Each structure stands twice: as structure tokens, then as C-alpha cells.
């Protein structure tokens, strides 16, 4: 049985860069991970069941349908052998507020070994977002980013309580990417 | 089936003013909410079962009795049709410490769609309390208020994890009541 | 049936000093507590079942074995009559990250009345650790200590949600030990 590691971080924190760096390093040591995306798994289940035709349809599902899909996606992921990384959000920001990215019914199916929080100072995240020309969403201020990261930590505590998973924090600070990659590799090793 | 929205905030944050403003606005749009108070529902169940004679008696119930009443009150609330607002505390401050306002057995019955945290800076809350001549309780300092609000957020994360509800923060800052009312109306709309 | 009180605090916060002071004071009032250590109970169960020969063996157990032992230890503790204090960690810091000290399966067996967080400012903890010649572990900086204490609070909220326990904070500040002991005695009284 492999490891199941959930990796989370607010937009702009540089999660993908850190993970890819760590996976490359681990590959050289003979440690392999398969990368999964939680949203993609949910969509595939929904499509296979004829619930949606495209990804846009996912937003129109009601709460019970969403819950059933989340559970089914988690079950499917839990059956994949070998080490897996699951890319998702610790909390999901919606126009009305925050949702748990891994609610209880997902955690009970998925049984992750670890939830990683990739973090850095809110000002650094703000500046990375401002410098990203592909970003089109409404801008948050640094206080909102700070709140989102703090709320992610609180949520992670609840995940650890109910699932027994380890909560790891990987800092991805400006000019210290190598350090972030090394820490992520440590955590995944 | 209507929406079930739990609204919380520490004493002095101005929760009632914000909610009433939003409800009035929504009424003009044809959206109605019925307002319920969690404590009142618990008392009515306790009285109907002959467990207490008056509200003072509620404090003398033991832990198992309290738990049973909370569950019964939540079941009763969940059966009310249409949109409801439930007025309660995110965490309850007692002389010995904090209790969860919505423990797991309440959440499983109530299944709220949303938990709203009405918040503002601790200094503003302190000053509002100092200016409230009807307030007779022991005064907390601003650090204690800050702690209470932070602890409410952590608790809200646990609620979202177990129930799948959305957590909304509505800021009620000095001189910006209109903004708070507009945001609350958005959240309830 | 007595009270079951879990007492937690990061290393260096002075938990033992505060608890012992409070227990002495309460003894004079005829209130007795038996002190239990969660780790010791787990070890005794593991030894009795032939799973380990010494305490070092505890670290080599896999996740399912650990979980089973935690549950068994919690069951054993819950059967002890009279008032008990349970000494454990709110979150356990491991090289890979944080674990819940009281995961759900422990809380459901133990059903604690209260979880106490003994806390003080991170700088005071750092300085107490620096002045402790018996301490040999890797030093944490004050930001890491602050994070650990915040994470403990978030975790405590999750504990309160699932178990209905009270969360008490007892501050153990420099030069104010008497105040900490008096507050701890209040909480345990």
C-alpha cells in the first residue's frame, strides 16, 4: 500500500512548482508518486454517470449530488495502488464563503496519510498574484489572503482529528524555493 | 426546502442590527426568513418534557440531559419549512472555558447550509460594550475578545468539515453598517 | 463518576509545575485527582499484548496498530473511577508534521469533560527552553512555538465539536505562577 498525500495551498503560493521540484528529486532516488486532481476525479465520475456533460455543469449540481460525487471520487482514489499525491484545496472559497475541501465523508473514504499546507507570507502571495498576467479573478487584499491561510490551518486541524493524518507545513518563501523543494521532498520521502 | 442559516457573533458585535437590516432589505425582494433562537427551542423542549420549570433550571441540567435537549431542539428546527435563521453562539463562554455552540450531534440533525460569523476588530467590540449601559456582565479585555473571535473561526472550520456547510464572515465595522447589511443580504439571498 | 480532564501544553510551558501546585491546593480542600499519562497507558496495553518489549518499540508500530492501542488505552482510562487528570499533547509534533493527540476514536472512548491548554507567550517558552540544561532536542524558534500553540487551539476546537468537552486556557506567564495555579485550581475544582 502506498502513501496518500493531499497537497493544498492558496492560489499563487507556488504549490505546483514546489511539488514538481520535489517529485523530480525523489524520482532520482527511485521514489515515484502519481499525481491526481480531486476536481478531475469528481468530473469523471459525474460524466460517467451522465450527471453532467461538461465541467461547467459541475457547478449546477445540488448539495446532495456534490456530496455523492465527492464520496465516489474519494473511493476511486483510495483504490489506486502506489504513492499518490492529491491536488485539492484545504478550503474552497466561494462567493458566499468557505467550504471544507475534504469534508468528513471524503476523509473517511480517502484516509490520507498526510495533508500538506504550502504557505508563505500573505504579502508575497499578493505580489505573486499581481505579477501573474494569466490571473483574471477578483483580487483579494493581503488581509483576506492571511485569513484564508489561517482558516486552512484550522480546517487542517479538524482533518487531523477525524482522520489521524499528519499535517505538514511547507513554507515557499521568496528566494528560497530550493528550501521549499527540499522540505517537500522530506515530507514525501 | 428552505435554507438553514446559523448566525453567530460575540456579544457587542451588533449581530441583531446587521441581521435585521438585511432581513428588511430581503423582504423588499420577496425573500422571507423566519428567525429562531436555539436556546429558546431547547427551553421549550425541556419545559414540554417537564425537565425544567423556568429558564434558570436549564443551567442545572447535567451533560447528558443537555445533549439530549440540544439534539431534540435541532431535530425540531430542521423540520421547519422555508428559510430559517438560527441565532446562537459559535462557541459558548462559560466560567470554566469554551463549549461548542453546535456540537456534532446538533450539526447532524440541523444540517445547516451556512454558518455566518459576524465579526469586527476587538477594540471596536470592547468600546461598544463599554458604551452599552444595559451590559452588566464581567468585562473582558480586548485580548480575550480577540481570542474568542479566533476560537470561533477555528470552531467554524470544524463545523464545515463535519457538516459541509459554508462559513461566511460578515464584518460589522464602525461607520460601515450599510456595508455589513449589504454583505449579510448577499449571504442570505 | 468523576471528572476526566485532559491537560496539554507545549514543552517548556511549565504544565507540570502548574498542575502540581493546583493539585496540592485542591488536596487541602478534599478534592483529589489521579494523574494518568496517555503514553504510559498505551505502552502498558502494547506490552500486555506482546506487541512491544520496550518503549522504543512503540515508534515502530504501524498506523493501524497505533490506532488500536490508542483506543484501548482510552477505554482503560475511561473505566477508572474518580477524578482523573490525563497528561498528553494537544497535537504531537513529529519530523513530518503534526498529529492530533486526541483523534476522534480516542475522544469517543475517553469522553473528556475538559481539555486544558496551558499557554504562555512564545518568547517566554523559548527562553525557558534555552535555560533548561536537560533539554537536548532541536531548538524551535519563537515563530514555530507560536504556530504550535495556535495549532493546538484549532485542534482543541475540533475536540470540543466532536466530544462536547469544555476548552479551558490557563496562562502560565513569567512571574505569575500563583495566578496560573489559582486558575488551574478553579478549572479543576
**In this predicted model, what pLDDT tens digit does every residue of A121-166 receive, in sequence order?**
999 999 999 988 887 666 789 999 999 999 999 999 999 999 999 9
Distance of alpha carbon A48 from alpha carbon C81, whole angstroms = 56
- In angstroms, the separation between the Cα of residue C100 and the nearest Cα of chain A is 5
Q: Are A18 and A177 in contact (CB under 8 A)?
A: yes
Rounded distance, CA A147 to CA B169, Å?
10
Across the range B62-77, mean pLDDT stands at: 93
Sequence-separated (6 or more) residues with CB below 8 Å from residue C110:
C4, C6, C74, C77, C78, C86, C102, C163
Please, are residues A181 and A25 in contact by the beta-carbon 8 Å criterion? Answer: yes
C-beta of residue B96 within 8 angstroms of C-beta of residue C188? no
Can you give the pLDDT at residue B138? 65
Question: Contact A112/A165 with Cβ under 8 angstroms?
Answer: yes
CB-count burial class (<10 Å; 0-12, 13-18, 19+) for A88 = buried
Residue A130, H or E segment: helix A122-130
Task: Pull the grid cell for residue C143.
Answer: 515563530
Q: Specify the pLDDT at position C63.
A: 87
**Locate cell 460525487: which residue?**
A69
Cβ distance A96 to B166 less than 8 Å, yes or no, reads: yes
CB contact under 8 A, B98 and C158: no
User: Residues A14-33: pLDDT tens digits?
Assistant: 999 999 999 999 999 999 99
The answer for residues whose C-beta is within 8 angstroms of residue C60's C-beta and 6 or more apart is C52
Which chains would you list as touching C if contact means 3+ CB atom pairs under 8 Å? A, B
Q: Specify the fold of C4-37+82-188.
A: Rossmann fold (3.40.50)
**Pick from A94, A103, A159: which is nearest to B164 by CB?**
A103
Give the pLDDT mean for B47-73.
91
Within 8 A by CB and 6+ apart from A144, the residues are none
Nearest-CB residue to B157 (from A63, A96, A158)? A158
- In terms of DSSP bridges, do strands A91-94 and B34-37 run parallel, antiparallel, or are they unpaired? unpaired
Chain B residues whose beta carbon lies within 8 Å of the beta carbon of residue C3: none
Long-range contacts at B130-138 (CB < 8 A, ≥ 24 apart):
B132/B12, B135/B11, B135/B12, B137/B11
Contact yes or no for A157/B154 (Cβ under 8 A): yes
Is the predicted pLDDT of residue B137 greater than 70, yes or no?
A: no
Class of domain B4-36+82-188 as given by CATH = alpha beta
pLDDT above 70 for B82:
yes
pLDDT value, residue A132: 86
- ipTM for the predicted complex comes to 0.94
pLDDT at residue A1, rounded to an integer: 73
Q: pLDDT tens, A46-71?
A: 999 999 999 888 888 988 999 999 99
Interchain proximity A187–C96, CB inside 8 Å: yes
* Cβ contact A161–C102 (<8 Å): yes
The answer to whether B10 touches B124, Cβ cutoff 8 Å, is no
Contact A167 C158 (CB under 8 A): no
Number of residue pairs across A and C with CB atoms under 8 Å?
67
Q: Residue C69: exposed, middle, or buried by beta-carbon count in 10 A (0-12, 13-18, 19+)? A: buried
Of B116, B114, B109, B115, nearest to B76 by C-alpha is B109
DSSP state of C73: H
Rounded to a whole number of angstroms, the distance from the CA of B97 to the nearest CA of chain C is 4
Grid cell at residue B176? 460601515
> What is the C-alpha separation between C151 and A159, in angstroms, rounded?
12
Contacts of B114 in chain A (CB under 8 A): 96-97
> Position of cell 456534490?
A66
CATH of span A4-188: 3.40.50.300
Over the stretch C49-68, which tens digit does the pLDDT of each residue have?
Answer: 899 999 888 888 888 999 99
Nearest to B106 by CA among B73, B153, B154, B80: B73
Q: How far apart are CA C79 and CA A79, in angstroms?
A: 38
Q: What's the gap between Cα A49 and its chain centre?
A: 25
**Mean pLDDT, range B9-25, rounded to an integer:** 96
Contact C110, C77 (CB under 8 A): yes
CB contact (8 A) between residue C100 and residue A169: no
Do A161 and C155 lie within an 8 Å CB cutoff?
yes
Q: How far apart are CA B19 and CA C122, in angstroms?
A: 39
Q: What pLDDT score does B59 carry?
A: 84
Q: What pLDDT was estimated at residue A34?
A: 97
Chains that touch A (3 or more CB pairs under 8 A): B, C
List, for residues A76-126, the tens digit of each pLDDT value: 999 999 999 999 999 999 999 999 999 999 999 999 999 999 999 999 999
pLDDT of A85 reads 97
Q: What is the pLDDT of residue B77?
A: 95
Spans of all domains in chain C: 4-37+82-188
Grid coordinates standing for A78? 483510495
What CA–CA distance (Å, rounded) separates A37 from B38? 40
Check if the beta carbon of residue A122 is closer than 8 Å to that of residue A146: yes
Report pTM. Answer: 0.96
For residue B87, the cross-strand partners are B7, B37
For residue A154, the chain B residues in CB contact (below 8 A) are 153-154, 156-158
- Tell me the mean pLDDT in the region B81-94: 95
Mean confidence (pLDDT) of chain C:
94
Q: How far is it, in rounded angstroms, from Cα A83 to Cα A21?
A: 17
Sites in chain C below the pLDDT cut of 70: 136-138
Write down the pLDDT at residue C138: 65
Contact yes or no for B166 and A99 at CB 8 A: yes
- The DSSP output letter for B175 is T
Amino acid at each position: 500500500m502506498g502513501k496518500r498525500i493531499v497537497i493544498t495551498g492558496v492560489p499563487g503560493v507556488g504549490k505546483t512548482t514546489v511539488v514538481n521540484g520535489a517529485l523530480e528529486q525523489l524520482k532520482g532516488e527511485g521514489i515515484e508518486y502519481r499525481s491526481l486532481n480531486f476536481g478531475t476525479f469528481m468530473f469523471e465520475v459525474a460524466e460517467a454517470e451522465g450527471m453532467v456533460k461538461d465541467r461547467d455543469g459541475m457547478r449546477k449540481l445540488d448539495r446532495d449530488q456534490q456530496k455523492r460525487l465527492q464520496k465516489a471520487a474519494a473511493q476511486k482514489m483510495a483504490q489506486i495502488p502506489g504513492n499518490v499525491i492529491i491536488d485539492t484545496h484545504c478550503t474552497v472559497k466561494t462567493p458566499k464563503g468557505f467550504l471544507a475541501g475534504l469534508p468528513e465523508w471524503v476523509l473517511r473514504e480517502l484516509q490520507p496519510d498526510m495533508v500538506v499546507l504550502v504557505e508563505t507570507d500573505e504579502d508575497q502571495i499578493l505580489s505573486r498574484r499581481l505579477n501573474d498576467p494569466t490571473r483574471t479573478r477578483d483580487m483579494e487584499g493581503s488581509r483576506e489572503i492571511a485569513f484564508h491561510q489561517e482558516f486552512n490551518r484550522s480546517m487542517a486541524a479538524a482533518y487531523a482529528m477525524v482522520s489521524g493524518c499528519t499535517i505538514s507545513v511547507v513554507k515557499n518563501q521568496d528566494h528560497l524555493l530550493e528550501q521549499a523543494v527540499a522540505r517537500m521532498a522530506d515530507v514525501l520521502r
